[in-house]
Amino acid sequence: MDALRQDLTQFTKGITAIEAAYGADLKLVLTGGNVELNPTTPDYDKDQAELVIQLLRQGRKDIIYLTENPERTRQTLAKAQDALSEANTWVMVQLDLWDRLEKLYRLLFPDDARCIKGSDGCRPDAPVSCAVCEGKVRYDS
């Protein structure tokens, strides 16, 4: 999974700042390694512009990386798409195997009517739940 090395979270601050700039009718202009803001309308929101300036300071390095070279940004998107595809495939395979193994566990050990996680139960945010938490296995003692 080499493509997973492309992690877009490293650009979160820059993406957030660029979005905020566009949302505030401000255009980013790169000049000699500096990032400047130009209003696209005379009615731009000056309070919002102050917030954008703060975000720009936090995301300056990302903004330069993402805006100065379109080809590099395109390649970043392409690598991230590959990473997402690989990760999605990995998740789908794991979900299938998890489901199959959990069913086998219930067949192999029919006397065990406990949740796989013990008394806490399966996590509510888990993408899969064991048969006990799904209500498919009942504890009868």
Contact (Cβ atoms closer than 8 angstroms) between residue 40 and residue 27: yes
| Identity of the residue, 36 or 112, whose beta carbon is nearer to Zn ion in the bound complex | 112
- Least distance (Å) between residue 129 CB and Zn ion: 5
CB nearer to Zn ion: pick between 28 and 130: 130
Shortest Cβ 118–Zn ion spacing (Å): 9
Q: State the Cα–Cα distance between residues 19 and 77, nearest whole angstrom.
A: 16
49 versus 122: smaller Cβ distance to Zn ion: 122
Q: What share of the chain is helix, strand, coil (3-state, %, to 5)?
A: 60, 10, 30
**Nearest residue (CB) to Zn ion, 72 versus 136:** 136
Angle in degrees, CA 130, 88, 97, rounded to 5? 35
* Least distance CB 103 / Zn ion (angstroms): 14
Three-state DSSP class for 39? strand
Residues that bind Zn ion (CB under 5 A): 115, 122, 130, 132-133
| Torsion angle of C-alpha atoms 95, 96, 98, 102, degrees rounded to 10 | 130
Q: Residues 80, 84, 85, CA angle at the centre, nearest 5°?
A: 120
At closest approach, how far in Å is the CB of 58 from Zn ion? 41
Least distance in angstroms from the C-beta of 126 to Zn ion: 8
* For Zn ion, the closer CB: 63 or 115: 115
